[in-house]
Amino acid sequence: MIYTDPAELRHPDMRAILAAALETGDAQLLPNLEALTDADYLLTLPGVVLEDWQACDQRAQLKQLLESNRGLLVQRKTGTDWPSSMRKFSDVQLRMQMETGAPPVAVAVGDYQLLADGHLSVNDRPTGFYWAAYIGSVVAWAARGGWAFQMKTHGDFWQLLQHLVARLVKSQDTPLVHARRYQELVPQDAATLFETLPGVGPETARKLMDTYGSATLALYWLTDPVEYPAELVSAKVVERVRKWLGCEPVGSAHAGKVGHVPLIDEDKEAFLIVPKWQAQILQKTSVAELWPLYLKTKNS
C-alpha cells in the first residue's frame, strides 16, 4: 500500500496520479505523516492495516513498521528542492529513520543535467549549484544510511514507489537489508565523487586515479586506514574521508573491517559501496542480483 500526506494532492504534477490511485484503492491519505517524519509517502506491505490513525500513537506505529521491514518512508524532491535542501539532509534523515536504522528514501524528480561550466540544471533551468555538490549530497545521503534516486518524470516516480512496495513483499522471504549494512550508491561518473570528498580536491583526485587506474580502486585505497597512499594524502585526510562516508573511526575495534569497498557493475556503469567485511561475499555474487534499486542519471 502507498500512503501519502494530504499535502501531496496540492502538487500539480501529482494531483492526477494520486486521484486515480485513491479511486482504485492503490493509495490512501495519511494525515500528519510529513509533520511526524519529514516524509511524503509511507510504503507498506499490501496486507498491513494501520490501527486507528487518529487515536493511536502514530510515531510508535510508524517505528514498528520500519523496524519489522514492513514499511519505508519516502521523501519526494522536485525541481531545485533537492539542491536547496542539501544542508538540511542530516536532520531530515534522522527524522525519517526514527531511530530504527531503516533506509530513508529520497527521490529527486526532474530532468537533472550537467552544464558545460560544471553547474546543475533542472528541467532546463540553471540552479546555481554545482553538479559535483549534488552528487556529493547523494553520496552523503547513502553513506548515512539512505537510498537516493533521480527520476525524470512523476510517472516514473510513481512506478518507483510501486517497485519499492514489491521489494517489501519480496523482503518477507529474504529480509530487507538495511542501508547501515548494505549501502546502494550510483553516481554515473565515479570520478565526480572525488571532487566532493573533504581534503582531496581535483588535482589529488587525478593523481589517485592515475596511480590506481580507476576511481573505484582509488576510493578503495583512500578509505583504507592502514594501506592508504601516504605519498598523496595524509592520515588526517583519510580519516576525514572515512568519517564523511560513514566508516568506523581509525582505532576502533572494527576499523579494519568496515571501511567501504566500491564494487563495479559494468552494465550500469555505476558502483556500489559496501562494508569491507561483506566485500568477499558480494564479490562472489552477481552485482546485478544485488541491484534492484538504482539512481537514474542523465545518461542512464
- Give the CA-trace dihedral at 23, 25, 31, 34, to 10 degrees: -100
Q: Of 6, 17, 89, nearest to 42 (Cα)?
A: 6
Note the pLDDT of residue 254.
Answer: 39
Residue type, 19: A
What is the Cα–Cα distance from 194 to 208, expressed in whole angstroms?
Answer: 9
Note the pLDDT of residue 247.
Answer: 56
CB atoms closer than 10 angstroms to residue 59: 12
Q: Of 38, 137, 141, nearest to 92 (Cα)?
A: 38
CB atoms closer than 10 angstroms to residue 88: 10
Note the pLDDT of residue 205.
Answer: 82
CB atoms closer than 10 angstroms to residue 196: 21
CB atoms closer than 10 angstroms to residue 210: 10
Q: Are 31 and 6 in contact (CB under 8 A)?
A: yes
What is the Cα–Cα distance from 273 to 280, expressed in whole angstroms?
Answer: 13
The boundaries of every CATH 3.40.50.10130 domain in the chain are: 2-170
What does the H/E/C string look like for 150-195?
Answer: EECCHHHHHHHHHHHHHHHHHCCCCCCCCCCCCECCCCCCHHHHHC
Assign domain 2-170 to a CATH class. alpha beta
Note the pLDDT of residue 282.
Answer: 34
Which residue stretches of the chain have pLDDT < 50? 174-189, 252-300
Task: Give whole-number Cα distances, 117 to 58, 80, 86, 121, in Å.
Answer: 47, 18, 21, 11
For strands 112-114 and 119-122, give the pairing. Answer: antiparallel
Q: pTM here?
A: 0.60
Burial 267-282 (b: 16+ CB within 10 A, else e): ebebbbbbbbebbeeb
Q: For the chain, how long is the longest CA-to-CA vector?
A: 63
- Give the CA-trace dihedral at 8, 9, 15, 16, to 10 degrees: 110
